[in-house]
Every structure is written in C-alpha cells, then in structure tokens.
C-alpha cells in the first residue's frame, strides 16, 4: 500500500469480529453485491497487530483521522495523513511500531516518553 493513501471522499467502515476494513464508498454500486467489495485496507485482529481486540464501532471520523472503539475498552486511532496509528488504553496512549501498511505484521506498541 502506498504511504500517500488518503481516505476517499465517500468512505465506508466495517467492524467485523476478526478485523476492521476501510472501503471506498464509490465502489459500492449495488447493495446486493456487498460480498464482493474489496477493501482499500483491512486490519486483522491479532497479537501485537494494530487491532489486538475486536473492533466494535467507529467512535469518530474527522478528515484523515478515524477512531475505533474495541473490546476491552481500547480505542485505535488511525491517522491516514501521517500514516501512523495509536492505541489508547486505560493506562495510556501507545504508538504502533509500524505504518498503517504494517498493521497486520505484529510489530507491537511503544509507550510515549
């Protein structure tokens, strides 16, 4: 995925048990063909991945920033402008140690100084 990726003007988010997907809404032409939609990016739930717990809902979406509430009280903040991500946990904010394109690579998190 290109680091210059921007969220489309018409964007659709999907919270699933095993991941979180971002879809260009312009590609959704037929509501009866939703099973064939290809996300522009998908983050899988996994140990040390960007999403470690099941995503529940999009809490906010402003410009190139999306915040997703997850099980366990965590909030994942995706910043498409900076191509970075942070996870907010009860004990603090942690930066994902990879770019958004590495969100499924299990890179883990770095606590802020």
Cα(5)–Cα(73) distance, rounded to whole angstroms? Answer: 28
> Above 50 in pLDDT, residue 1?
no
Count CA within 13 A, CB hemisphere, residue 9. Answer: 1
- How confident is the model over 17-42, as a mean pLDDT? 79
- Kindly state the greatest CA–CA separation across the chain: 49
pTM of the model: 0.88
**Tens of pLDDT along 3-26?**
457 888 889 899 999 999 999 887
């Amino acid at each position: 995925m290109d680091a210059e990726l921007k969220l489309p003007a018409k964007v659709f988010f999907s919270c699933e048990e095993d991941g979180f997907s971002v879809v260009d809404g312009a590609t959704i032409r037929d509501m009866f063909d939703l099973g064939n939609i290809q996300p522009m990016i998908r983050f899988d739930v996994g140990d040390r991945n960007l999403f470690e717990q099941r995503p529940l809902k999009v809490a906010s979406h402003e410009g190139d920033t999306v915040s997703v509430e997850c099980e366990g009280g965590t909030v994942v903040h995706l910043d498409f402008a900076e191509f970075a991500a942070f996870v907010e946990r009860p004990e603090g904010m942690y930066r994902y140690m990879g770019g958004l394109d590495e969100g499924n690579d299990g890179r883990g998190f770095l606590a802020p100084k």
